[in-house]
Amino acid sequence: MKQNKIQSEKRMVCNGCGKEILMENSIVKEDYFAATHSFGYFSKTDGTQVSFRLCEDCFRAMLKQFKIPAKEIEKTELC
């Protein structure tokens, strides 16, 4: 489902720095981080959905801000 949406877009931009994510003929040519989250009961933003994309540089910068490091596993086979 995500792939179809990505292919229909003509332009994608990193929400962190504003850099355009490289695409050729509606095909993404560089990786990025995408997140969508719907806040539920007991949150300060109940009923709000947030979505964003980050280029790899902004994603790495975000990880550096964590007090508890994110778990990273190196994979030898990519799907």
pLDDT at 9: 61
Q: What integer pLDDT is reported at residue 1 of this predicted model?
A: 41
Q: Is-contact 36 51, C-beta < 8 A?
A: yes
8-19: pLDDT as tens digits: 567 899 999 999
Q: What share of the chain is helix, strand, coil (3-state, %, to 5)?
A: 20, 30, 50
By three-state DSSP, how is residue 13 classified?
strand
- pLDDT band, very low/low/confident/very high, at 77 (cuts 50, 70, 90): confident
pLDDT digits (tens, 9 = 90+) for 34-49: 999 999 999 999 999 9
Where are the chain's structural domains? 2-63
For residue 25, name the pLDDT band (cuts at 50, 70, 90): confident
Torsion 9-12-73-68 (CA) sign: negative
